[in-house]
Amino acid sequence: MHEAGLDRFAAWLIHKKAKALVGEHGFRKSDLDDIKQELTLDLLQRLRSFDPRRAQYHTFVAMVVENGVATLIEHRTAAMRDYRREQCSLNEPVRDDEGKSVERSETLSVEDDSSAPASEAARDLKMDLRAFLDSLPPELRSLALARQRKSVTEIARDRGVPRTSLYADLRRLKAASERAGLDQYLGKK
């Protein structure tokens, strides 16, 4: 047995797949150990359901590791976390509201300009959200904060519960946000 109780084949495959991810989809060399750990944990959890009547061991391991890699890529490139989204130059030429070519930095607003309507709306939203979160019971506050960064599936996995167990709390959270008037920020009347 090798890493974390895995046999030679599984340890080799995980290392090979993790190494192949480095330099792709925003993964860096410093992520290698984390990638290997994620793939190893996923495989160890799924080995419990291995049935030799349905597939050969090597086939099962390869499929689980491939699916793990796909999940890591999907997670890394999701719209809200996409590593590519933040890579741009502030000196890059873009078109402004009038169609003129200007540097990207010239299109950014200064946040402490209290006369700007967008800044006022952002400040109002921030204050309303803070008050809303402070009014929630701890379990709903925790769910609301987690939901800003994670999918329902990820939260359920982190908490060790089925997704369906979170739906009632999500409905309570939605109802509370509507009562607090936060739906106005979503353009709902």
Per-residue pLDDT of the chain in tens (189 residues, 90 and over written 9): 455 578 999 999 999 999 999 988 888 899 999 999 999 999 999 998 889 998 899 999 999 999 999 988 888 776 555 455 555 666 777 777 777 888 776 766 555 444 445 566 677 777 778 888 888 888 888 888 888 888 888 888 888 888 888 888 888 888 888 887 776 655 544
- Length of the chain counted residue by residue: 189
Domain boundary among 52, 77, 102: 77
One domain, residues 15 and 70: yes
Query: Under 8 Å CB-to-CB from 19, ≥6 apart: which residues?
Result: 32
CATH classification of the domain holding 154: 1.10.10
**Best CA proximity match to 104, nearest among 95, 113, 112:** 95
Domain with 175 in it: 116-184
Query: % helix / strand / coil in the chain, to the nearest 5?
Result: 65, 5, 30
How many domains would you assign to the chain?
A: 2
Residue 104 lies in a domain: no
